[in-house]
Structure 1
Amino acid sequence: MLELFILLLFAGEIIYLVYENRRVLRNRAKLQHVVYVNGIRGKSSVTRLIDAGLRAGGKRCFCKTTGTLPMTINTQGAEQQILRRGPANIREQLWVLQRAAENSAEVLIAECMAVDPALQKLSQQKMMRADIGVITNVRLDHTDEMGGTLSEICDSLCSMIPENGVVFTADAMFYPQIAKNAAQKGAKAILATAENLPAQAIDFDENVALALAVCAHLGVPRPQALQGMGHYCKDPYALSLHRLPGGALFVGALSVNDPQSSEQVWHQMKERHELAQRRLVLLINNRRDRGYRTAHMLLLAKRLKPDEVWLLGAAQKAFARKLQKVGPVPVRCFASADELDLAADENMVIFAAGNIAAEGHLLMARVREEGDALVP
């Protein structure tokens, strides 16, 4: 009897998998293109920029991002948060594919939510079946899952390159390695370069260049794409700048998790807003389940040489001890975002990095309520 029960369960699972595969193929057949966006930094922004550019060119798009909050933008342009009942699961992409088909979309633009290379490959080959891949950049992050070196991380990101498709990247340094991985899958690799972009920044140049390249590939003229991108819906916790009640400036870069990108953002903001003469406070929010990022943020502190470091979240004492070994810098630890003093004077700039989770969300809620938003 037990053997029969196990056999029935196995048969039921096989039937379900066959049904699910047919449903995926049916939904995918209703879409002309699927653009699958991967990379370390800027995935949500690039996904949204591509969506905005294609819409301006008359394409009927469905968009999904999994940045600081999982969101969809339907074919009518309405944005909606995805409410999850449990932890994030890549099976969510099957639902997204179905929603795009139900919305009669021509193009689905989706951010890759898998980190493990095997899951990236699975989500591409068995779920999204994208014909256009995007790798924003290769940076030092997710080292537990993707590998400890940049080369290993690059190969991991290449797991989702579509067979016989095309993959775009703006990372010139790793373009040869991406192109090599693409050739092994019969795909074409294209390097997007930031040339002749508008003087007024829409987003980081490499993100805009990458989105423009994808839009051009799908037949949208550059002027139309740029016009659409000029009004794109940013991720809820994208890079932001606020003036605090006492006059200090607050740079919200909590969603920028790796040291290289965080350092790049700081230098760009410092130059754009003439912050060099201000006293720099580096505010770091650490996640308990992202131990490697704590080590990465220590690298950031070494590079930026702040006048003071404020710590939120996990591993505060250990971080402070390691930081003191590098050089004497005042360190303040806070149990919650409510304890932070946001009444600092105009001689100070607070650069918040690390992670948006937990206290990061509470911190940004305070900043938005008490401060005045400025154009980044």
Structure 2
Amino acid sequence: MTLVILLFALAAFMLYLVYEARALRGHRDRIPLVVAVTGTRGKSSVARLLASVLREGGHRVLAKTTGSQAQFVLPDGSIQDIPRRGVASVIEQKEVLKKAVGAGVNCLIVEIMSIREENHYIESHRILKPNTVVLTNIRRDHMDAMGETEDEIGRVLAIDIPPGARAYIPEELRRNVTQHLTNSEQCKIVAVPPGRADVLASRHPELRNREFAENLDLVAAVATDQGIDDETIVRGMLKAIYDIGKFKVWKCRVGDKEILLANAFAANDPESTLKVIEKIRSMVPNGSAGITGLLSLRGDRGDRTLQWVAALKNGMSAHFRRVHVVGDHARAVRRSLKNVDVLRSVDAEEITVNIAAGMEDRGVLLGFGNIGGVGKMLVEYWQRVGEEYGI
């Protein structure tokens, strides 16, 4: 009797799997264009930019981001938060396909959420099956799961390109990815050169301050291949709505000083943060001489803390007048780096006021490290008290 019950349960389970597979395939087949955005940094920004541009070009688009904030960008451009119960899983992408079909879209843009190699395969090849893949960059992060070197990380990210897909990759990273593609002859690789969007940015200088050039290049390349003209691309870019992790600068009066507050908390690695510093120097007249750093650390990301300590020891601290550290591991960092200040407060206003007291007028306070915890509270406070600068 027990064996009969077990066999019946197994048969029912197998029928359920067949039903799920057919439902998943049916949902995917009803969406003409699925774009997967992968890479180490900038995925959310590229997904939101591209969604806005394609929507401006007449497409009905649903986008999903999982960066600083898990959100849907709905076909009308409005934002819907994604409630999370427990740990995020790539299996939720099945529901995204179902939602896209229900919304009647002809384009779905999804940020790849996988970290571990096996999950990349399941998410891209088995669930999303994108016909277009956009790779933003390859940088050192999640090294315990993806590898220590750019080559190792590139091998994992290359998994996101399934057979038959059209993949847009920054020109300088083409070899990092294509050498790991076992199905390269079945893929169309589009190497996007630096400066691809320079003509657009020269006509609309505000784009240079709103977004990083490499992100604009990728979005312009994809949109052009979708038949969208330059002016429509620009209008879409300017209408894009970003999440809390987006790089942004505010002007704020603190006491008798006017300072600039710069959000780079979501640039979680040293290389990305150095690119933000370059951008600030291009935006702010005295930025090269007046940047004060505020490093926010997370207790569950000890690997990132070690990465920051190594970077600051190896010359990154020279970019700052002073570095302040807040969050878990702050005291441990202080023992390794003698020229940093540990902040014990976790109140955003108190942190800002105390640091500003030691800054010059018109100096820049750059927040970096992690958007979670104190970083998020600081950005929310800066948004309330500051006035957007340079945009």
TM-score range for the pair, normalised by the shorter chain length: over 0.9
Q: Which residue of 2 aligns with 1:370?
A: 385
1:70-219 equivalences in 2 (<5 Å): 70-170=70-170, 172-182=171-181, 184-185=183-184, 186-193=186-193, 194-195=195-196, 196-199=199-202, 200=205, 201=208, 202-219=210-227
Query: Which shows bigger deviation, 232-241 or 220-229?
Result: 220-229
Deviations 1:147-181 (A, max 9, x none): 011100011111110212111112x3321132333
**Aligned with 1:322 (options 325, 336, 345):** 336
Q: Which residue of 2 aligns with 1:38?
A: 38
1:256 has 2:228 as partner:
no
How many angstroms apart in 1 are the aligned matches of 2:386 and 2:284? 17
Q: Which residue of 2 aligns with 1:11?
A: 11
SS of equivalent to 1:230: helix
What letter is aligned with 1:372?
A: E
Give the number of equivalent residue pairs: 371
Residues 180 and 223 of structure 1, relative CA distance in 2, 3 Å threshold: farther
Query: Which shows bigger deviation, 299-308 or 28-37?
Result: 299-308
What letter is aligned with 1:89?
A: S
Q: Following TM superposition, by how much is the alpha carbon of 1:66 offset from its aligned partner in structure 2, in angstroms?
A: 0.9
How many angstroms apart in 1 are the aligned matches of 2:109 and 2:340? 45
**Aligned with 1:336 (options 346, 351, 371):** 346
Q: Following TM superposition, by how much is the alpha carbon of 1:2 offset from its aligned partner in structure 2, in angstroms?
A: 4.8
Q: Percent identity?
A: 28
SS of equivalent to 1:154: helix
Query: Which shows bigger deviation, 309-318 or 104-113?
Result: 309-318
Q: Which residue of 1 aligns with 2:304?
A: 293
Q: Following TM superposition, by how much is the alpha carbon of 1:88 offset from its aligned partner in structure 2, in angstroms?
A: 1.2
What letter is aligned with 1:337?
A: D
Deviations 1:248-306 (A, max 9, x none): 21111001111101011112112221234644321111111211111222244331422
Q: Which residue of 2 aligns with 1:309?
A: 323
How many angstroms apart in 1 are the aligned matches of 2:279 and 2:67? 22
How many angstroms apart in 2 are the aligned matches of 1:18 and 1:144? 35
Scaled by the length of structure 2, what TM-score is found?
A: 0.89
Contact 2:244 2:379 in 1 (8 A): no
1:57 has 2:57 as partner:
yes
Q: Which residue of 1 aligns with 2:246?
A: 238
How many angstroms apart in 2 are the aligned matches of 1:276 and 1:206? 22
Structure 1: runs of 5+ lacking an equivalent: none
